[in-house]
Amino acid sequence: MYFASDNWAGAHPRINDALARQAGGYAAAYGASDLDRRIEASFNDLFGQEVAVFFVSTGTAANALALASVNRPGGVSFCHREAHVIEDECGAPEFFTHGARLVPVDGDDGKMDPERLRGEIARFPPDFVHSGQPMAITMTQASEIGTVYTPHETRAIAAIAREHGLPLHMDGARFANALVHLGLTPHQMTLDLGVDIISFGATKNGCWCAEALVFLDPEMGRDLPFIRKRAAQLFSKSRFVAAQFEAYLADDLWLDLARHANGMADLLREGLSSADHAQLAWATVTNEVFAIISNERIRQLRAAGAQFYDWHPPRSCRHRIGPDESLVRLVTSFATSSEDIERFVELTHRPCA
Amino acid sequence: MYFASDNWAGAHPRINDALARQAGGYAAAYGASDLDRRIEASFNDLFGQEVAVFFVSTGTAANALALASVNRPGGVSFCHREAHVIEDECGAPEFFTHGARLVPVDGDDGKMDPERLRGEIARFPPDFVHSGQPMAITMTQASEIGTVYTPHETRAIAAIAREHGLPLHMDGARFANALVHLGLTPHQMTLDLGVDIISFGATKNGCWCAEALVFLDPEMGRDLPFIRKRAAQLFSKSRFVAAQFEAYLADDLWLDLARHANGMADLLREGLSSADHAQLAWATVTNEVFAIISNERIRQLRAAGAQFYDWHPPRSCRHRIGPDESLVRLVTSFATSSEDIERFVELTHRPCA
Amino acid sequence: MYFASDNWAGAHPRINDALARQAGGYAAAYGASDLDRRIEASFNDLFGQEVAVFFVSTGTAANALALASVNRPGGVSFCHREAHVIEDECGAPEFFTHGARLVPVDGDDGKMDPERLRGEIARFPPDFVHSGQPMAITMTQASEIGTVYTPHETRAIAAIAREHGLPLHMDGARFANALVHLGLTPHQMTLDLGVDIISFGATKNGCWCAEALVFLDPEMGRDLPFIRKRAAQLFSKSRFVAAQFEAYLADDLWLDLARHANGMADLLREGLSSADHAQLAWATVTNEVFAIISNERIRQLRAAGAQFYDWHPPRSCRHRIGPDESLVRLVTSFATSSEDIERFVELTHRPCA
Amino acid sequence: MYFASDNWAGAHPRINDALARQAGGYAAAYGASDLDRRIEASFNDLFGQEVAVFFVSTGTAANALALASVNRPGGVSFCHREAHVIEDECGAPEFFTHGARLVPVDGDDGKMDPERLRGEIARFPPDFVHSGQPMAITMTQASEIGTVYTPHETRAIAAIAREHGLPLHMDGARFANALVHLGLTPHQMTLDLGVDIISFGATKNGCWCAEALVFLDPEMGRDLPFIRKRAAQLFSKSRFVAAQFEAYLADDLWLDLARHANGMADLLREGLSSADHAQLAWATVTNEVFAIISNERIRQLRAAGAQFYDWHPPRSCRHRIGPDESLVRLVTSFATSSEDIERFVELTHRPCA
């Protein structure tokens, strides 16, 4: 019962096969192989136009390099208060942008509230050197807490970005999970709504290491080849990443895997919603489920082998957490089995001893 | 006939098998898995004492983070004029050290000359703020041009490092190739000679992505966990790197692979030394061979499918290169076949049409 | 009626005389002159022990270099939400610390609340690389909004700093104004209370350009000579700064000037507290006064030649600001005349036309 | 006999008077005063077109911020091997450019040789991410060793800059000394020859602290307001710098002072050229004189009160320095008296005891 994180899972067999196929033979290094070029080009199909694609080693790299590519001195970027970039990347965005600040924006359900975003941007008047200058907005889709920006909500954020001349970055560590939930194409969830740059994550959804930084306007990524190399993020045997993406995108594997993960979370949500000793902390729609469970029950679950993390209650949590209970996060993945879900749910339904 | 670079090869079957074994199952992310811990600990055995080990994604990352860990403001590091850190890393060392300078040191055969090193360091008197302060020495073993520092030579560099209180870093992108040439243990080639930090590369020698930064004194790497995470170099599914190292080090696979690569280069050296239309540019001992070949013959070789790069003649090149010939670099790897060597050599012996 | 800021004033005649005395003659450059050395040493007397002193060009430089001297990778520093370092320095602290984050701490009256400070620090558990590592606490004395940390309050902050092994920095852009209000010696307001590093500002209080960074433990400033030079903050004719400090500290000029500025603010506070058309927004004790004044009256005051800024209401503001009134900041200085205060007060008492 | 450096002198009386005039009164801070604006505008007259001007605290700041304004990731800038930016600024250029590299270019007489410059640039092919990308050329006028680029020589450098699309920066710490030697206007020595950015130094030539960064194309300095503030280089009482520049430029004071300094150096050159115990090390034309003097004579000169530095022989030094003699640098300034020159020369002519 592994619900600690989707990155605890390994790699899908078809990803593994793709890696194995690269083991033999020779190919040009540093992203110059035919395979690298071909897979980069396949992103054009994915987004319905020519885009610029850069493979990097981690999601943090994709996010930090995205922000580095659009920041200038005194830069300030805006993100949700609970976003990965501000909470979990050890200052990588600040480091790679040479000190640009991340300004937290409040908003329910792990999503920036447009009015609050507008208010935060307004604190940085143009040409007022003392406070700095707005440079970018970064949103997380799906969000850190299992929710998803609707097209309407993304459009509202994008409109503010356009109004202030700011590029809009989407941290898509769980891009596929949001996509299948919304039933949109990559093109529809980004370009059509006003997104400019995407951290396109595949590691959490079945690869072992496949992250891409995508600029929908290639010109915006003009300096990225140098930014990436200077950041020590240019793989010599880059084709092993390309190969993972090839298998990932082929025959909609990535969408199937995300659907599976979301579906497993649906089972979990359903099971927990009727449990006596657990309740959903807030509504989620992707592969993350947050539950408030009694401490005793948590101990039993862990004793039975369930793996999951306690979670710091975000401002978005609307339920009161009692003294004898805790908030926990449960994450499903491409590898989660319905048996594990059933067993976990069954344990939450069982009467306490 | 792939002699462009050792990183054009794929991955050894045993490395591939190790990756495949990780595909299934679950394990703690971000380097916290049992496998990560176990393989990190296996480096203690390798170096005969407790060391601190950090997996990163590229050799450039290992080098840059090594230098970042020992630099302070106004820092200056010393390397050979033709070293990878100063020639081929797009300023990553400067970026990750927040602007520390790399000072090139001359020396024959791609190796720093101790007297010249001493002379360069002397240009930075202690407490003279205008020029900056010496912080580290970094040597490349094997060197960029196929040579190897003898124990005596390494000791001479290390003595200067000690004298000035500077840590000595070894860029070991081709650590194994140097090691088997010298017939030393890792411990003997580093700790015994005064090396402090090692970029321990395995990618070029049969892995697809396995680089480790090793601090022989763990205290020296105290901040590395934060430096690595801030550098976006902490893999979530880190155990896939650990698995590669496990297979790489098991049963001396790594030494066998390096011996094979060096041996193939020996064949090449032997074959070229008797060729009419090619000559060795200088003596090398690892898996790199530099040859001066007539331009017409080069065209023939490439027409026959040989892959290799023209090379900019380093100061270390003692032969005059005529107007109708060029310097080329030929690199063998764990994957090179003797058939390819024989065919290439045969082509260099064949009379020109 | 110049109440825009204390840095709108020029230089006190004795500061000016000191500069004039340096115009002739010769002296060693880059801080090596006898005068530089002598004035640096005079800070030992000021703080009652050997300290390390570094002249820099701006208060922002003092703050940013102080934080740079104590930050390491992934560093996080804590300051009040309305502090100058986080609001008005265009990201200089982040830039000079290579991306360390400033975490805002709430608290009434422009002062960090100890419990909230503790809470923010707790969000960064030791060795948890994802969030970063606490590195320093910086407090502003006097605060940005005219208040002063009492010795008791400073001790509470310092205790938290000690508990977590963090150095405590004091932004003393208005150090003298706080000092004379509290009736303490420099030693009593810093060392005795647990402060480690001080941005010792003199520019706002009668110099034209005299800022010093003071390390009460000289060892903590060990790298500052290189940090300062690399930051382009080492004046060649540094003795002109030293000369300003000499005159500033001689015969307690600095304390007299601060007493004058605070006294002028007292007159203003007294005058406004009985005005019909203005009220004090909150209690201040130094040379800053914040008032809520009707918009019509503000227009009249400005028409009469009064210079002051509208101010964004901080969270500390406890009064409701009506639709027809605004919050304004009024700053007195060493150069403020009682005539100007009287005239301004008289204008606020006059009935609206 | 103060010949240690031109920055050992104080401030010219008219500079001092200008500072005194600013002591009283009030003016807007942070460069927004009428005086700041007016003096900034006066640079338009100086250069014969609209330029962008930014006051900073040191020459190192001007140079480093100039390079920061035109560098992008992986950036590489070119300067003479003995330039101040690479020899004497403790890595400030690298720090402010986030790690851009300075590549030394050889050339006689302290001036970059155009062919060698071309050769160094050629080492960085466009789009080759491994080596980095050329970003700027910076020349020192007058040079560090007392020479001056002729218009022809500057044009040759500028042509290379244009060819590669690189901005050309001029470090003008001794701009005036070069200008009066060449008999050109500021416009003629820069814009007409292809210079883009100037570090316009006045501190060495009679101010106590007056350095300006001038962009001949204001658009090129678009981000400088933020770069400067983030660099902690925006003076609050900026008008004191403006006042110095006002007096400096008024009635050609600056040209008179530079003529005086150069003239004093002429006297020195003349005197030394006929001395038995000293000889000029190479030909200089500004206010720096380099002489080879016997060690015994050096001791006598110092015993008689002469102040000057030993100098590390640059590659440009064409004379052999014997075992009993040393190379010394003698710098004159606006404050140097002919009496001091005469006395010094007389001492070099006197027979050794």
ipTM comes to: 0.96
Alpha-carbon gap: D22 to the closest alpha carbon of chain C (Å):
6
* Structure confidence at residue A246 (pLDDT): 98
Is the pTM for the entire model greater than 0.80? yes
Residue C352, pLDDT score: 64
With CB atoms and an 8 Å threshold, state whether B130 touches D89.
yes
Write the pLDDT tens digit of every residue in D309-336: 999 888 877 788 999 999 999 999 999 9
D-chain residues near A227 (CB < 8 A): 73-74
Instruction: Judge: C129–B226 Cβ closer than 8 Å, yes or no.
Output: yes
Cβ distance D91 to B132 less than 8 Å, yes or no, reads: yes
CA distance A276 to A281: 14
Residues 6+ apart with CB under 8 A from A352: A277, A294, A296, A297, A300
Closest Cβ opposite residue D130 in set B88, B96, B132:
B88
Cα dihedral across residues A59, A64, A65, A66: positive or negative: positive
pLDDT at C276: 80
What radius of gyration, in Å, describes the C-alpha atoms of chain B? 21
Q: Is the pLDDT assigned to residue B352 strictly greater than 70?
A: no
Q: What is the pLDDT of residue A314?
A: 86
Question: Chain-wide mean pLDDT for chain A?
Answer: 96
Which residues in A lie closer than 8 A to residue C90 (C-beta atoms)?
Answer: 74, 129-132
Flag whether pLDDT at A275 surpasses 90.
no
pLDDT digits (tens, 9 = 90+) for C291-331: 999 999 999 999 999 999 999 888 877 788 999 999 999 99
Distance (Å) from the C-alpha of residue C59 to the closest C-alpha of chain A?
Answer: 13
Locate the chain C residue with the closest alpha carbon to D31.
Answer: C8
Cross-chain Cβ contact B98/D99 below 8 Å: yes
Of the pLDDT bands very low, low, confident and very high (cuts 50, 70, 90), residue C353 is low
Distance from CA of D218 to the nearest CA of A (A): 15
Chain A positions in Cβ-Cβ contact with residue C95 (cut-off 8 Å)? 73, 98-99
Per-residue model confidence (pLDDT) at position C168 = 98
Q: How confident is the model at residue D127 (pLDDT cuts 50, 70, 90)?
A: confident
Residue A21: C-alpha distances to residues A10, A244, A268, B25, B202 (Å): 18, 10, 36, 22, 20
Identify the pLDDT of residue C350.
Answer: 84
Q: Across the interface, do C73 and B132 touch by the CB < 8 Å criterion?
A: no
Three-class HEC string of chain D = CECCCHHHECCCHHHHHHHHHHHCCECCCCCCCHHHHHHHHHHHHHHCCCCEEEEECCHHHHHHHHHHHHCCCCEEEEEECCCHHHHCCCCHHHHHCCCCEEEEECCHHHCCCHHHHHHHHHCCCCCCCCCCEEEEEEEECCCCCCCCCCHHHHHHHHHHHHHCCCCEEEEECCHHHHHHHHCCCHHHHCHHHCCCEEEEECCCCCCCCCEEEEECCHHHHCCHHHHHHHCCCCCCCCHHHHHHHHHHHHHHHHHHHHHHHHHHHHHHHHHHHCCCCEEECCCCCCCEEEEEEEHHHHHHHHHCCCECEECCCCCCCCCCCCCCEEEEEEECCCCCCHHHHHHHHHHHHCCCC
Question: SS3 of A108, please?
Answer: helix
Mean pLDDT of D225-233: 98
Question: How much is the pLDDT for A127?
Answer: 87
- Whether residue A274 is predicted with pLDDT greater than 80 in this model: the reply is yes
pLDDT value of residue B353: 57
Which residues of C lie closer than 8 Å to A, measured between beta carbons? 73-76, 87-91, 94-102, 123, 129-132
Q: Residue B236: which of A26, A28, A58 has the nearest Cβ?
A: A58
For chain C, the distance separating the N- and C-terminal CA atoms, rounded to the nearest angstrom, is: 21
- Rounded CA-CA distance A142/A174 in Å is 6
Report the chain B residue with the minimal C-alpha distance to residue A95: B230
Contact residues of D toward B, CB < 8 A: 73-76, 87-91, 94-102, 129-132
Q: Which pLDDT band holds residue B315 (cuts at 50, 70, 90)?
A: confident
User: In angstroms, rounded to a whole number, what is the distance separating the alpha carbons of residues C329 and C308?
Assistant: 6
pLDDT at residue D352, rounded to an integer:
64
The answer on pLDDT for B247 being more than 90 is yes
Comparing CA positions, the residue from A60, A67, A204, A84 lying closest to residue A145 is: A84
User: pLDDT for D172-222, tens place per residue?
Assistant: 999 999 999 999 999 999 999 999 999 999 999 999 999 999 999 999 999
Q: Residues B15-26: what's their mean pLDDT?
A: 95
Asked if the Cβ–Cβ distance from A235 to B58 is below 8 Å, we say yes
In the sheet with C309-310, reading across from the earlier edge strand, the strands are C278-280, C288-294, C325-331, C309-310
Contact D132 B90 (CB under 8 A): yes
Out of B89, B96, B100, closest to residue D91 by CB:
B100
Which of B24, B56, B57 lies at the smallest CB-CB distance from A10? B24
B74–C228: do the CB atoms touch at under 8 Å? no
- pLDDT at position B275: 87
pLDDT-derived band at B291, boundaries 50, 70, 90? very high
Tell me the chain D residues in contact with residue C15 when contact means C-beta distances shorter than 8 Å: 23
Q: What is the pLDDT of residues B174-203, one digit of tens each?
A: 999 999 999 999 999 999 999 999 999 999
Put simply, the answer to whether C127 touches B225 (Cβ < 8 Å) is yes
Q: Which residue of D has its CA nearest to A232?
A: D130
Contact residues, chain C, for D25 at CB < 8 Å: 10
Do the chains contact at C95 and A91, CB–CB below 8 Å? Answer: no
CB contact under 8 A, C87 and A132: no
Q: Give the best residue of D6, D87, D209 to mutate against chain C (max C CB count within 10 A).
A: D209
Do the chains contact at C99 and A98, CB–CB below 8 Å?
yes
pLDDT class for C127, splitting at 50, 70, 90? confident
Closest in C90, C100, C123 to A91, CB measured: C100
The answer to whether A226 touches A60, Cβ cutoff 8 Å, is no
